[in-house]
Structure 1
């Protein structure tokens, strides 16, 4: 499933453009800009399944690095600093990965 089936393509492009510079990524602003924050929990879970590239049921640190590419092919890789900050914000149980419930809570906060 493509993100454009869940979110507006123009919103995705604007958000990716806003965070094009290295070390500029802010997950709260990004989720708000792409319209994900306003979506239902079911839609947030659909986005999670797209970002969970290996279908493990978790978004691991390596997958987080490519999260913007999950929204659109032209997205950049997150820096190590951004990846670690994103993981720290979402990983509430400290297992080093983000589950669907943790992701949903992060988007909705």
Structure 2
């Protein structure tokens, strides 16, 4: 399944363009711009599973770095600072990774 089967390609492109510059990524604005905030819980879970590249049931820090490339192949890598900020925002139990419930909570916050 591709991200474009869940979200509109135009919305993905606009969101990626908005965060092209290093250290500009804001997960709240990004999730809103791609239309994820307006999606059902099932669709948010589908997106989570696409981001969980190793299918471990968690999005780890290394996977977060490439999160924008999961939305479109021309997405950039997140900087180390952006990756750590994103992880801290989502990782409510402090285990160093993001579970599906933590991801959903982050999307809808």
The corresponding residue for 1:91 is 91
The corresponding residue for 1:80 is 80
1:15 aligns with 2:15: yes
The corresponding residue for 2:29 is 29
Structure 1 position 54, deviation (Å): 0.1
1:51 aligns with 2:51: yes
Structure 1: how far apart are the matches of 2:74 and 2:31?
17
Q: How does 1:53-72 map to 2 (within 5 A)?
A: 53-72=53-72
Structure 1 position 46, deviation (Å): 0.1
Cα deviation per residue 1:75-96 (whole Å; 9 max; x = unaligned)? 0000000000000000000000
Which 4+ residue blocks in structure 1 deviate beyond 6 angstroms? Answer: none
Segments of 5+ residues of structure 1 without an aligned counterpart are: none
Cα deviation per residue 1:16-56 (whole Å; 9 max; x = unaligned)? 00000000000000000000000000000000000000000
Structure 1 position 108, deviation (Å): 0.4
